[in-house]
Amino acid sequence: MGSIPREFLPPKEYLPRRIFTIPEFQYPDKLNIVERLYENVKDWKKTALYYGDQKITFRELKRQSNKLANALKAIGVGQNDRVMIKLPNCPEFLYAYYGCWTIGAVVVVAPNLLRKEEIIYRANDSEAKVLIVSSSTWPELPECTPEFKTIEKIIVVGERKEGYLFYDDLVGNESDACDIADTDKFHPALLLYSSGTTGKPKGMIQDSVFLFVSGDTTRMIAGSLDEHDVLGGAPPFTFPLGSSFPLAQARTGCAISIVDRPTAEEMFETIEKHRITVLSNVPTMYRMMLQVADAEHRYDLTSVKCFMSAGEWLPGNVRREWIKRFAKDIIDALGCGEMTWLFAHPHWSPDDKSDSTGKLLPGFRMRIVDEDFNDVPVGTYGEVLIQGPTGTLYWRRPEIQEKAVYNGWNRIGLVGKLDEDGYFWLKGRVDDMIVTSGYKVAIGEVESTLMRHEAVLEAAVVASPDEVRGNVIKAFVVLRKGFEPSEALIKDLQDHVKANLEPYKYPRKIEFVESERLPRTLSGKIKHHELAELERRK
């Protein structure tokens, strides 16, 4: 059994305080998510994974996961070793998740669309020992291998590649029985990297408790989730939202619908085909689905009991349009890769709360503070501090870990407020502030206001240098179908912001763009720092 170097883990003096205040978050000291998954399976012949026309039972899921676990052990992978997974959404991805956790290895996820520099960065920063990769994204791998410092074996899924281990051969003759590693509840199990919207991605450690809390909070948000449910959606398993799918499965015995990078039409078709009961998507996918004409009549969505949205703020107008067309609400959930889900919007909340982010989940507590960490009054914006059963744990970044925790409280980088009814209103990120004429303006506040206009599909706000004001606010706007760019529309959008925010917060510059022109992270979030850099260069 290997060990993780002490310097890779957060310094003890900068650890957050973790609280376990409700029965749902009471976990035993010895904890392995695979063991709990098998305990929750009531019928081994039941479908565990839907993938296209395939129906994979829990018995087959266990067999394939164990075969891979034994294959990894045979090539030298042990407890605490890091295994990097770079695959599209497919059954082998979930076999790799469960196979690694079976033997106590740490999963390092790498988005399937990562380019050369970021592949090398994640592999070397995590000191991964093995890389499991798809042949569909192979072309850049030979260029990366000379720069890998610790990877000893590369396993290819899909088509054979000369000189590398082939997945089917590797698992073919292995036993389908494997002992489950004896891990404790704070054992590092998953290493995710931040999306890089504000700089170089940071490794975020998710231990066994984190995995269980993620599964349990998903169940809370959905209202109910059990072995009769089918959890589906478009998010890649390499991102926090997608990684919650197997965690929810392990906690409930539900099935998972697997789809890789679907169009809006394909998402509707998958709901019908797999009879998805809980659909979880990012807001962009819901906006795309709303662009499908007559979808409410063309597709059968009667199987879905819960629509969930996460990954970024869901505008109230999207929820309202979804309710109008499909007669079902979308639960907006907000969290972060460092702490899992934190807020969720109740079903059928009052219309005047539809642009809020809902209420704090049970088991977590929050403070909203000023620059001196003093609590602010209800209705006042401030920095958000959180405590719960999870906490911010950065990999090999002690200087960032120190800034991420204050007196045991997690500083999750958000600015928001609580209203008198306990609803949370997100204003933006602490580091997403524009200073113009001496005023500080949160870009998220301007963006959310713009997206409440009927013409706006997406908006990205950045600082544009100005000789007089230092900076002015500039908005890049993607229009909905049926609206055309014009000077009159620019003025209408500016007046809309002035009418809903303090007048100095309106965008003095507006540029209409196509959605494809906006720089994005692999999870679809807009890279504001790249847009801001383009403005500075101009």
pLDDT tens digits for range 188-247: 999 999 865 555 789 999 999 999 999 999 999 998 899 999 999 999 999 888 999 999
In the chain, the domains with their CATH numbers are 6-418 (3.40.50.12780), 432-537 (3.30.300.30)
CA dist., res. 291 & res. 303, Å (int): 21
- Token pair of 235 as six digits: 């998010």
pLDDT value for 195: 67
Q: What are phi and psi of 133, to 5 degrees?
A: -135, 155
| Identity of the highest mean pLDDT range in 114-123, 205-214, 419-428, 430-439 | 205-214
pLDDT value for 534: 86
Full DSSP string of 322-360: HHHHHS--EEEEEEETTTEEEEEPPTT--GGGTTS--EE
Full DSSP string of 82-111: EEEEE--SSHHHHHHHHHHHHTTPEEEE--
Q: Where are the beta strands (DSSP E) in 470-514?
A: 470-479, 509-512
pLDDT value for 196: 57
Give the residue-averaged pLDDT of 17-23.
Answer: 96
Q: How far apart are the first and last CA of the chain?
A: 55
Q: What is the pLDDT of residues 137-153, one digit of tens each?
A: 887 889 999 999 999 99
Instruction: Answer whether residue 50 shows pLDDT above 70.
Output: yes
CB 526 within 8 A of CB 195: no
Helices then strands, counting H and E runs in the chain, come out as: 16, 26
pLDDT value for 516: 87
**Residue reference for tokens 């990297």:** 193
What does the mean pLDDT of the chain come to?
A: 92
Give 309's strand partners: 281, 332
pTM of the full predicted structure?
Answer: 0.85
Smallest CA-to-CA distance from 489 within 502, 475, 504 is with: 475
pLDDT value for 199: 56
Q: What is the pLDDT of residues 300-310, one digit of tens each?
A: 999 999 999 99
CB 413 within 8 A of CB 202: no
Q: What is the pLDDT of residues 363-399, one digit of tens each?
A: 999 999 999 999 999 999 999 999 999 999 999 999 9
Give the residue-averaged pLDDT of 33-49.
Answer: 94
Q: What are phi and psi of 482, to 5 degrees?
A: 100, -5
Query: Helices 240-252 and 91-102 sit at what angle, rounded to 10 degrees?
Result: 70
Instruction: Answer whether residue 407 shows pLDDT above 90.
Output: yes
Smallest CA-to-CA distance from 69 within 19, 103, 107 is with: 103
CA dist., res. 347 & res. 363, Å (int): 20
